[in-house]
Structure 1
Amino acid sequence: MNEASNLSRIKAGFYFGSTVLVKTLAGLLVIKMLASKLGPEGFGLLGQLMTVVAIVGMLAGGGITNGLIRVLAKAPLGTAEGRAWYASAYTLTTFVCCVSAVLIAAVSPVLADYLVPGVGLMLFIVLAFSQALIGYGNLPLAEASSRGGSATFSLINVSGTLAGAALVIAAVYYGSFKGAAYSVVLMPAMVGVFALLYAAFRRRELISSCSWSVAPERIKLLLSFSMVTLIGAISVPLAQLFIRDVLARAMGWEQVGQWQGVIKLSDVYMQFMGVVLINFVLPRIAAASDVRHVFKEWSVSVCALVGVLLAGFAVFYLLRDFLITLVFSSDFLPMKALLAPQMAGDVFRTIAASISYLFMARGLVRVSFAFELAQGVVLVCAFSLFFNSQGALAPVYAHLLTYFTLCAVMAVGLLFWMKRRVQ
């Protein structure tokens, strides 16, 4: 039994590792193209659009992926209950995608003027279409994750990531800033496109399970996970938008571009953390039978994640001048002063997020909701505290303080929960 479990972990680790490697290299290549073509000022301006695209992508389809993974881990698609859950998820996704498309179209004039003046309204019509592809594509990806289908998950993500990266590179090369804006909007949808192709040609039962089903109890449970995703999608990004505006007014868009470079590097490796936590750790914890098994699954996973993170940080920091020039350009070398606090904060962020996913997997969604909400609130407060004295370093010091605090609070909460469950 242990040998089979270890083999399963090794296979899953290989597939997730391959996915992360491709996503990381593709992400760095995209950053390189955007930074070298647009420079710090253009990169900082495009960062506003990237934040909005990230928010829309996380909310696509109602943000029910985590909830669907959890319920399908206990009731697979092959069962009547599993098909009922999938149908409810499809129904909710359809409703949210339609509402989101209407809202995006309605506010597109404001978004166009504020985020990317001169590009045009059509960009946000494309964004409305893109979020629907992401939302529907999340359904087969969630089903694959729930049954431990790491090979399927990896194939879809690698294919979509490579297609998206190729799209960005071609668009930036031939279309400059406008092409970059459209490609940034479309890139996340490529994974959704490949997920839908997989469902259509390899798993027809996924298509046949997409029936209309308004079951109040199921919808309510999925929406509880959706609320966590909603807060997570807007809490930190809105805080970052606030920080960008303050930095831009006080120090100019070039300084915003330096900080944006650090944020985008962080996004690349934190994406790896999210992939593993959502698609590997969460279903295992959800299926665990007792609190000791839960803690074992969590502790093994988080130790491995932090170990990989620290090793990567050590290499990057030692080679920071060379790697910043390689990934961005020599214009971005001032960002190396921001690296150490950002990296330290990301270690605490990983631990805190892993505890949040543990609570989510065990049905304590309110704890995860509070954690997601607190991230943005604490980040803004910490930035306001540091800005007058630290200036350009304020965002990364605020990041470090935010996640150190939240990590400590979540760790205390975990110990308290375990003590109660053991008793």
Structure 2
Amino acid sequence: MSLVKTSLLNGIAVAIKLASALVLNKVLAIYVGPAGYAIIGQFQNVVAILVSLAGGLVAAGVTKSTAQHFDDEAKQYQVWQTAIRFSLAASLLAGVALLLVGEPLSEWLLHRSDMSNIFIWLALALPAMAANNLLLAIVNGKKEVGVYIAANISGSIVSLLLIGLLAYYFGLFGALLAFTISPAVVLLSTAALVARRYWFNLHSLWGKMDASSMRELSGFAIMGITSALAVPVSYMLIRDHIASRLGLPAAGFWQASWKISEIYLMLVTTTLGIYYLPRVAEIRTAPELKAEIIKVYRFVMPIVVVGALSIYLLRDFIIQILFTQDFQPMRELFAWQLTGDVIKIGSWVLAYIMIGRAMVRVFVITEILFSLSFFLFSWWLVDLFGLRGVAMSYALNYSLYWIVMAYFVKFEMKKMENYSTL
């Protein structure tokens, strides 16, 4: 499916997800406030880490391998079965570990000892979360864009209802509980959609682990665990530093600005995941890869730039509509945050090539290095410029990341050219 057609179809899901996110932002701003917003950000990073450790770390590998072996159904089944078995075992281990450290984790990250029960719910929900991620990865690899979009739409609606209702009735604890159980609930709708496809049957998902498939997925597991730990941990440390220097509400202001970036960049980021990753996995020659990169840049960068400028011009209106007057101090973050968004997407177009072409060593090194540098830049610039410093660090860090990605992608294309001449 073409990039434009994929984006148009994905736009439907993004529009619904955007509407849901706008409503949820307002609900959370009213019922949990800036400090609660910071706590939710910390908890979402914990969820991201655990979901990745519980099998999500091989999801990109499942997508890539499914797309790569498009003409070998037996091999696809071996990959799926291996990934499912690995994910279930990993989710059980992660759940047990979470039960053991839930109370100290609650005190450190949530600054609330009375919230430890939320980690019990999270441990119970992990297997369902992992299964849902793998089903979506399979669908993405099969290029079943319609099914993928329908699953995302149902997920947005379920999240809106659960988070909105539980936050309204139970405040911060209800919001955290909803963030825990909503991805697990979405598994039911995803399974119902996938079960209707001609290529799907239960036998294709359950079987013995295959050694060659495990080796194929192992590189993505290494990349996944690196990303699962390095990126969310750096965000948590940054929020903790902001909270210690400027107070917990200030960390909530940064989290709110980050949420705005996530919302308006949805069309671009989801299109990269749905179209670009499987496409990169298929490409065999350097000229074809170069042409694909240029095509994606021409499509996504104007969208990001126009979106960022629009958000900046409407920043006061956005704060009023999406949040409350308590969030007014986040206004100073917009210029640097939006600049960082444009730079980030530019770098991501190149960074996806590392995943699609399984450049494991480069991915691991750069992910750790730039997660660390983001934290160090934030530590330094927050002390110098206050809250604005964290957004400045974001733009600076991704500028350096883009330069490094350009170097490694150029090197990879040179290697492809040499291989094609053999």
Instruction: Select the residue among 288, 295, 305 that pairs with 1:293.
Output: 288
Gapped regions of structure 2 (runs ≥ 5): none
Change in Cα spacing, 1:104 to 1:77, as seen in structure 2 (3 Å) is farther
**Structure 1 Cα separation of the partners of residues 39 and 173 of structure 2:** 12
Instruction: Select the residue among 52, 58, 62 that pairs with 2:46.
Output: 52
**Structure 2 Cα separation of the partners of residues 97 and 367 of structure 1:** 27
1:406 and 2:384 correspond: no
Deviation at 1:306, TM superposition (A): 1.8
Instruction: Select the residue among 353, 359, 368 that pairs with 1:364.
Output: 359
CA contact (8 A) 1:55 1:234 kept: yes
Gapped regions of structure 1 (runs ≥ 5): none
Instruction: Select the residue among 340, 345, 355 that pairs with 2:340.
Output: 345
CA contact (8 A) 2:339 2:395 kept: yes
Matching residue's letter, 1:340: A
**Structure 1 Cα separation of the partners of residues 16 and 183 of structure 2:** 15
**Structure 2 Cα separation of the partners of residues 284 and 194 of structure 1:** 27
CA contact (8 A) 1:341 1:400 kept: yes
The secondary structure found in structure 2 opposite 1:353 is helix
Change in Cα spacing, 1:388 to 1:123, as seen in structure 2 (3 Å) is closer
Which deviates the most, 42-51 or 324-333?
42-51
> Which residues of 2 match residues 371-390 of structure 1 at below 5 A?
371-390=366-385
Deviation at 1:270, TM superposition (A): 4.4
Change in Cα spacing, 1:372 to 1:203, as seen in structure 2 (3 Å) is farther
**Structure 2 Cα separation of the partners of residues 243 and 191 of structure 1:** 31
**Structure 2 Cα separation of the partners of residues 103 and 308 of structure 1:** 42
CA contact (8 A) 2:78 2:209 kept: no
Change in Cα spacing, 1:131 to 1:272, as seen in structure 2 (3 Å) is farther
Matching residue's letter, 1:355: L
> Which residues of 2 match residues 177-196 of structure 1 at below 5 A?
177-196=172-191
**Structure 1 Cα separation of the partners of residues 187 and 269 of structure 2:** 17
Q: Over residues 201-260 of structure 1, what are the superposed CA-to-partner deviations in whole Å (9 max), with x where a residue is unaligned?
A: 556834221223222232122121022122212212211221222221221112111111
Deviation at 1:389, TM superposition (A): 1.5
Instruction: Select the residue among 64, 88, 110 that pairs with 1:94.
Output: 88
CA contact (8 A) 1:378 1:402 kept: yes
1:230 and 2:225 correspond: yes
Q: Over residues 376-419 of structure 1, what are the superposed CA-to-partner deviations in whole Å (9 max), with x where a residue is unaligned?
A: 11101212332332121121111111100010111122223323
Change in Cα spacing, 1:200 to 1:365, as seen in structure 2 (3 Å) is same
1:38 and 2:32 correspond: yes
Give the TM-score normalised by structure 2.
0.92
Partner residue, 1:74: 68
Instruction: Select the residue among 165, 171, 182 that pairs with 1:170.
Output: 165
> Which residues of 2 match residues 119-268 of structure 1 at below 5 A?
119-200=114-195, 202=197, 205-268=200-263
Change in Cα spacing, 1:337 to 1:303, as seen in structure 2 (3 Å) is same
Instruction: Select the residue among 244, 258, 276 that pairs with 1:281.
Output: 276
Give the TM-score normalised by structure 1.
0.92
**Structure 1 Cα separation of the partners of residues 415 and 41 of structure 2:** 44
Deviation at 1:77, TM superposition (A): 8.4
**Structure 2 Cα separation of the partners of residues 171 and 203 of structure 1:** 38
Change in Cα spacing, 1:213 to 1:62, as seen in structure 2 (3 Å) is farther
Partner residue, 1:84: 78
Deviation at 1:272, TM superposition (A): 4.0
CA contact (8 A) 2:81 2:205 kept: yes
1:104 and 2:86 correspond: no
Which deviates the most, 138-147 or 69-78?
69-78
CA contact (8 A) 2:7 2:267 kept: no
Matching residue's letter, 1:180: A
Partner residue, 1:22: 16
Change in Cα spacing, 1:322 to 1:231, as seen in structure 2 (3 Å) is same
Deviation at 1:24, TM superposition (A): 2.1
**Structure 1 Cα separation of the partners of residues 239 and 155 of structure 2:** 30
Deviation at 1:86, TM superposition (A): 1.3
The secondary structure found in structure 2 opposite 1:211 is coil
**Structure 1 Cα separation of the partners of residues 35 and 79 of structure 2:** 47
Which deviates the most, 154-163 or 408-417?
408-417
The secondary structure found in structure 1 opposite 2:366 is helix
The secondary structure found in structure 2 opposite 1:64 is helix
1:306 and 2:328 correspond: no
Deviation at 1:119, TM superposition (A): 4.0
CA contact (8 A) 2:308 2:342 kept: no
The secondary structure found in structure 2 opposite 1:305 is helix
Q: Over residues 303-330 of structure 1, what are the superposed CA-to-partner deviations in whole Å (9 max), with x where a residue is unaligned?
A: 3222211111111111110111101112
Q: Over residues 273-300 of structure 1, what are the superposed CA-to-partner deviations in whole Å (9 max), with x where a residue is unaligned?
A: 4322222101111112311111222221
Matching residue's letter, 2:90: V
Where has structure 1 moved over 6 Å in runs of 4 or more? none
CA contact (8 A) 1:77 1:143 kept: no
